A and B are shown apart, each in its own frame.
Chain A
Amino acid sequence: MAMIDSTRRSFVTRIGGGAGAMALLTVVPHPASAETIDLPERESAILEAAFGSSVLTPGKISLDMPILAETGLSVPVTFKVDSPMTEADHVTRIMGFAPGNPEPVLADYQIGPRAGLAEVSTRIRLARTGFVYAAAKLSDGTLWGTKFSIIVTLGACVEDIFDLDWQRDAERRAMRAEARAAAAAE
């Protein structure tokens, strides 16, 4: 098997184009820069109804899921809460949200101390790339949360490629509807 001719740089040394140029960034789910995890309005309203408040303190709960899914059809996810699960101190409820989905609520578990382990695994459906949020309510009433950004990519072609065309169409139809209404009014 003829080796690659030497004039062309063998690419075993140069992996990933320019990777060497910068320290390999470890992936840390973006820590919430602010003191609280703020959910989009639709989801925080649901949380408000369920937990009585939508103010989540970052921490205690973590989301274990791949950072990239080829299709959003069935993505494995594990909610884990750092809790001794004793009578005095245990998790009462865990909820998961995916704002990108038509139905935002991914999971809603009521658990008690007898569960023994504050950890729940499931598979969720994701419509597109974006943040997944997790919220936990503890027996002492405190609310904890985290968020995780996942890339769902079946291909660039799958993003709604016609977004600009539908927008132009909508603008045209609105303009004309207005013109017709104005003409009718005269």
Chain B
Amino acid sequence: MALTLTVNGTSHVVDVEAESPLLWVIRDTIGLTGTKFGCGIAKCGACTVHIDGRAAKSCTTKVSAAVGKSITTIEGLSPDSTHPLQVAWTELDTPQCGYCQSGQIMAAAALLSKRANPSDFDIDTEMADNICRCGTYTKIRAAIHRAAEIAAQ
């Protein structure tokens, strides 16, 4: 059936089943492939998006539950990679294979909106849902601290 979704500020009318996972509607129907599929059971964080500013695992979110809400994906974080997290991620060359990094950055953005100056402990517990098989965790931590510094300037 036809549903209307607001993604990164633009509204899209999509003809999908109500119980379709939001992840695949964003990727296949709307065509924003920055949000990634990693596990399908909300255990790896690669599909993290923002729904009304809160982090959500889009692989286990029904598209019907996101209607009427403001959805933000990695592509919508900033028009030209100038969000403090994107600047910090680039400055520290944080990604290796990069596949999990959209989810890491979106989870980190939700963390920074809750905690302006997170400690290592805050980062560890809040980001524990996001797996990185390349093991870039040290740089992720450093980049979040750096992003907090940039945001505070």
Chain A residues within an 8 Å CB radius of B29: 2
Chain A residues within an 8 Å CB radius of B30: 2
Least Cβ distance of A51 to chain B in Å? 55
Size class of the B contact interface (CB-based, 8 Å): under 10
B72-90 interface bits toward A, Cβ cutoff 8 Å, 1 = contact, 0 = none: 0000000000000000000
B9 at the interface (CB under 8 A from A): no
Q: How far is the CA of A5 from the CA of B31 in the complex (A)?
A: 8
Least Cβ distance of A16 to chain B in Å? 23
Interface secondary structure of A, over-half rule: loop
A1-30 interface bits toward B, Cβ cutoff 8 Å, 1 = contact, 0 = none: 010110000000000000000000000000
Q: How far is the CA of A4 from the CA of B31 in the complex (A)?
A: 8
A79-107 interface bits toward B, Cβ cutoff 8 Å, 1 = contact, 0 = none: 00000000000000000000000000000
Taking CB as reference atom, which chain A residue is nearest B31? A2
Q: How far is the CA of A73 from the CA of B29 in the complex (A)?
A: 44
Taking CB as reference atom, which chain A residue is nearest B12? A2
Q: B residues 1-55 with Cβ under 8 Å of A?
A: 29-31
Q: List 5 A-B contacts (CB under 8 A).
A: A2-B29, A2-B30, A2-B31, A4-B31, A5-B31
